[in-house]
């Protein structure tokens, strides 16, 4: 069992969050008694305006919020990986070295897992490349490979495709779907993109003022894009946008 402020524990099952409270300094709380469950293998997307607590929730699940005050119960699987919008690759390390950095397995086994993960994301043969030789999309593929090499039970993704162009983002959506079908982790993804949430997730949660304002299942996730059957997508999109409010700006970044 590991623990941090607010009561983090690890479990082999799905994510359980109960009465989660988080606040910074002496200001108002960011998360206000939030409850959330994620089933094994379920993909949950989190939407919300800036300051609603999206990234704060993700950091709480990752155990990266030691510097904030809070309380509540958080249970996560023992093996958790995080993918950020910035690939966070070390520029002085080659691709494979970035993938296996911090891997707990013996070096030979870690490098074997790293090569397999790079092959899964379409980067076989690029193991000795430097990060600056890769495109933005390729760098995010390396970031995904780094997570996959650890066989996570829970994948946390903080706007992983937010910095990519539209076409590369669609290709990364297809890749992520394929990887999730093979590995079946639970996923919590923070995003500002309503359409991205609908086409990728099993369930979409809208946060407002540190609480869940709306929670909806998505249309059957069959890999099709919204134009294949626009009716259910359009209806859900309108409902989510209404919950987000008229001043929602997808380009803004959640700093909390």
Tell me if 131 is assigned to some domain.
yes
The share of the chain scoring above pLDDT 90, in percent, equals: 67
Tell me if 128 is assigned to some domain.
yes
- Domain holding 104, by residue range, is 89-151
CA nearest neighbour of 41 among 175, 179, 170: 179
Q: Give 42's DSSP letter.
A: -
The model's pLDDT over 9-53, given as tens digits with 9 standing for 90+, comes to 544 447 999 999 988 776 667 898 899 999 999 999 999 998 889
* pLDDT value, residue 26: 63
Tell me if 198 is assigned to some domain.
no
Q: From residue 24, give the alpha-carbon distance in Å to each of 56, 239, 248.
A: 10, 31, 23
Residue 196 has pLDDT above 90, yes or no: yes
Tell me if 60 is assigned to some domain.
no
Residue 225, Cβ neighbours under 10 Å: how many? 13
Tell me if 122 is assigned to some domain.
yes
Contacts of 81 (CB under 8 A, 6+ apart): 146, 147, 148, 150, 152, 154, 155, 156
Tell me if 5 is assigned to some domain.
no
Range 145-174 average pLDDT: 93
* pLDDT value, residue 71: 86
The model's pLDDT over 115-129, given as tens digits with 9 standing for 90+, comes to 999 999 999 999 999
Tell me if 245 is assigned to some domain.
no
Distance between CA atoms of residues 111 and 248, nearest Å: 44
Instruction: Return the axis-axis angle of helices 166-183 and 136-148, rounded to nearest 10°.
Output: 10
Range 49-75 average pLDDT: 87
Predicted TM-score of the model (pTM): 0.86
The winner for highest mean pLDDT among 61-70, 191-200, 238-247 is 191-200
Tell me if 27 is assigned to some domain.
no
Counting the structural domains of the chain, the total is: 1
């Amino acid at each position: 069992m590991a623990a941090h402020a607010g009561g983090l524990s690890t479990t082999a099952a799905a994510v359980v969050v109960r009465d989660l409270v988080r606040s910074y300094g002496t200001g108002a709380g960011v998360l206000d008694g939030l409850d959330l469950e994620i089933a094994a293998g379920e993909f949950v997307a989190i939407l919300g305006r800036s300051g609603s607590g999206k990234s704060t929730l993700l950091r709480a699940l990752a155990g990266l919020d030691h510097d904030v005050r809070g309380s509540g119960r958080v249970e996560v699987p023992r093996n958790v990986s995080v993918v950020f919008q910035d690939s966070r690759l070390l520029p002085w390390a080659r691709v494979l070295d970035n993938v296996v950095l911090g891997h707990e397995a013996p070096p030979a086994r870690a490098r074997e897992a790293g090569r397999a993960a790079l092959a899964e994301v379409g980067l076989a043969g690029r193991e000795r490349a430097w990060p600056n030789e890769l495109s933005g999309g390729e760098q995010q593929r390396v970031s995904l490979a780094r997570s996959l090499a650890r066989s996570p039970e829970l994948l946390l993704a903080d706007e992983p495709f937010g910095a990519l162009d539209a076409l590369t983002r669609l290709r990364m959506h297809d890749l992520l779907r394929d990887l999730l079908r093979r590995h079946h982790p639970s996923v919590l993804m923070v995003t500002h993109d309503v359409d991205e949430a609908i086409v990728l997730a099993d369930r979409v949660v809208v946060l407002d003022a540190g609480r869940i304002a709306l929670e909806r299942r998505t249309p059957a996730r069959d890999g099709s894009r919204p134009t294949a059957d626009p009716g259910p997508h359009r209806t859900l999109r309108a409902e989510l946008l209404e919950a987000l409010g008229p001043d929602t700006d997808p380009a803004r970044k959640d700093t909390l």
